[in-house]
Amino acid sequence: MLNAEPRPGLVESLTSEIIRLNDEQVEALQRAAFIAMTDDEAREYDMRADLIAELVKKLSTITRRAA
């Protein structure tokens, strides 16, 4: 089972979510360049960063198994 192909669309789905979250991070940083982040915005930024790291790890595991 370790060498099983990833579920169809899973790689694309993870990649799309990573890109979407990354775009939100970029927007947050662009806004923060002119107006300081609130504590809530900073927490959301950190939570997105953690989620991106999780998804990248998952994607890496899936694609490494498929190789």
**Angle of helix 10-32 versus helix 39-66 axis, rounded to 10:** 150
1 has pLDDT over 60:
no
The better pLDDT of the pair 53, 3 is held by 53
pLDDT in tens, 19-63: 999 999 999 999 999 999 999 999 999 999 999 999 999 999 998
- Here the tokens at position 20 are 């979407």
Contacts of 3 (CB under 8 A, 6+ apart): 65, 66
Reading the block at residue 1, the tokens are 């089972």
- Per DSSP, the chain holds a count of helices (H) and strands (E) of 2, 0
pLDDT at 67 over 90: no
* CB-CB contact of 21 with 52 (8 Å): yes
- Kindly report the pTM of this predicted structure: 0.83
